Amino acid sequence: MRCLFVKTLSSSQIHSAILSIPIVLAAVILILPWGALADDKMVPPSTPRLVLQITVDALRGDLPFRYYERLGENGFRYLWEKGTVYRDAHHAHANTETIVGHVTLATGAHPAVHGMIGNIWFDRTENRTMYNIEDDRYRLLTAGAGVDKDAEIDSTQKAAKSDGRSPAAIMVTTFGDELAINTAGRAKVFAVSIKDRGAVSMAGHAGKAFWFSKASGEFVTSNYYYDEYPAWVNEWNTRKLAAAYSGKSWDLLHDKGTYLFGAADDRSWETDLAGYGRTFPHKFGEPGGKYFTTLLTISPSGDALTLDFAKELIANEQLGADDVPDFLGVSFSSTDYVAHIFGPSSLESEDNILRLDNILAELFAYVDEKVGLQNTLIVLSADHGTPEVPGYMNEFGIHAGYATPESWDKAPAFMALKKMFGIDKELISGYNHPYVYLNHEVIRQHGLDLQQVERAVAEELLKFEGIAQAIESSALQEGKLPDTPLNQAILNNFNPKRSGDIYVVFEPHWFINDFDGLTVAATHGSPWRYDTFVPIAFGGMQISAQHVQRRVHTVDIASTLSAFVGIKSPSGAAGEVLHEVLKR
């Protein structure tokens, strides 16, 4: 028989024991690692002094790995080997264009919510095509620094009525906005890019943006942000770094024989813009030349100028100098321009990636010197991927080609359709990728039902070579589509105030290659995986070194940054927190 001995305690001993319970629990909490109290060893992050968000325009998710063995230790490899990398990351919207992706990265919202459904769209109230960030209320601080339309390969800007720029068309807050709101405006929020839309989108409403003017060869801004330039900006512009490329050329970084595409320097589908040539070296010409600054951006020199200006900004604005977290968005644009002109599987694209790797290494080293990488949260992604050139795909027996929207309304089938409806004028008023805009005025004049016309036009469009889907807006609004990933991506892109009447999806490896008479090799903007696939990599702040194969989306980035810093997510954010980033 077992005996149980119980010691009798006095009332004072019992009272002391009860009072000591919180102290004991507190001691246990302090002794145990946070992971013993939280799921999956997630730890509360310390607040970074600087959040550095890098966007590489058109960096398809596989491109850094394609040349991985020849990358340095401190650029891509710093993030890929010391940070958390998501190997299956995608944009979840269908129109993979620059402004759409940049604003998605900044806001964590889908285009349907943040409103930037395309680089351009037709505004029926204004009765004209709008450029995404144009705003005639806010002029550029540098007179004559607007887009030089004769020397601009980025033809979307030609839709702008003025050179005024602001973030007013972005319908929700960005991460930078929320950081400023949370800190009562004490957080410094900046963004820099060659492209105006790359800078304005990342700076958000509360930050300040600078971008490169091809007309002046300087970094500029509008009076939305400043009444006059800070002294350091004037000093940087006075150095005329763009003009320093006078008479120089883009040469290969290494011996030609070491390149994957070393034997493919001259391909028939590459664009020879203004004597820039299809083979190395690519000469920039002289500063007075019509295309001088444009050619700089179609080379790693565009990223080098961006880097130099970003470093000057970090130093002069003292980013990361105190305990209040600051934000810097840097968007590197050269990868996009090079892919447009030469294609991603080209010697030019390969050399550009290797040089971009050096630029990232230099940026990280500078941030480490000024702020400390241990105090900096870095995230790198891309606004979209990029397709292969049809000619290159044809070499592997893959059907690919170019579409010509300007011919649609004049095709016999459409002539018959207009005759059936009793219309003798143009039925299609315009095509602003990816939307067909119908002539509502003509449709009203003839007393036609808009939905019926939409459906009839969509059916005819499907008969054209290279078109995979044509979905009318009425079907999107009424939710009549089958629940498929492609349809969901199209819905994620649909905003009833800005989207057109019919969403056109080209077949894989089919796209438009003509921009105002300039033939380009490749153009992104599809819902196919080569355009949605982008890298997502987090580094700094003692983030765990790991590669994650789970499917994630770019809308997850803003919510993850917010959770890391400990503030609320942007107002339209739809993503999930990537919990691996919070592990230390």
Identify whether the C-beta of residue 153 lies closer than 8 Å to the C-beta of residue 340. Answer: yes
Alpha carbon distance 92, 105 (integer Å) = 11
pLDDT band at 152; cut points 50, 70, 90: low
43, pLDDT greater than 70:
no
What are the tens digits of pLDDT across the range 294-338?
999 999 999 999 999 999 999 999 999 999 999 999 999 999 999
Q: Residue 381: name the closest of 551, 576, 536, 559 by CA.
A: 536
CATH topology of domain 404-464+467-506: Gyrase A; domain 2 (3.30.1360)
Tell me the percentage of the chain whose pLDDT exceeds 70. 90
**C-alpha dist (Å) from residue 79 to 8, 338, 536:** 62, 24, 10
The answer to whether the peptide bond before residue 344 is cis (omega within 30 degrees of 0) is no
pLDDT in tens, 221-267: 999 999 999 999 999 999 999 999 999 999 999 999 999 999 999 99
Q: What is the pLDDT of residue 4?
A: 36
Q: What is the pLDDT of residue 16?
A: 47
Asked whether residue 154 carries a pLDDT value surpassing 70, the answer given is no
Tokens, residue 178:
């929320």
CB 48 within 8 A of CB 183: no
Does domain 50-361+369-396+537-553 bear CATH number 3.40.720.10? yes
pLDDT of residue 409: 82
Tokens of 273: 């813009």
Closest CA to 92 of 82, 100, 80: 100
Q: Which residues are 510's β-sheet partners?
A: 401
Kindly give, in sequence order, each residue whose CB lies less than 8 Å from that of residue 40, ignoring residues fewer than 6 positions away.
Answer: 579, 583
> Do the Cβ atoms of 147 and 164 come closer than 8 Å?
no
Q: Indicate the domain borders of the chain.
A: 50-361+369-396+537-553, 404-464+467-506
What are the start-end ranges of the E strands in 42-160?
A: 50-56, 84-90, 120-123, 128-131
CA–CA distance, 425 with 407 (Å, rounded to integer): 15
Q: What is the pLDDT of residue 407?
A: 84
Q: What are phi and psi of 522, to 5 degrees?
A: -145, 145
Question: What is the C-alpha separation between 86 and 80, in angstroms, rounded?
Answer: 9
Residue 32 is predicted with a pLDDT of 36
What is the four-CA torsion angle of 183, 317, 202, 187, rounded to 10 degrees? 0
The predicted structure's pLDDT at residue 36: 32
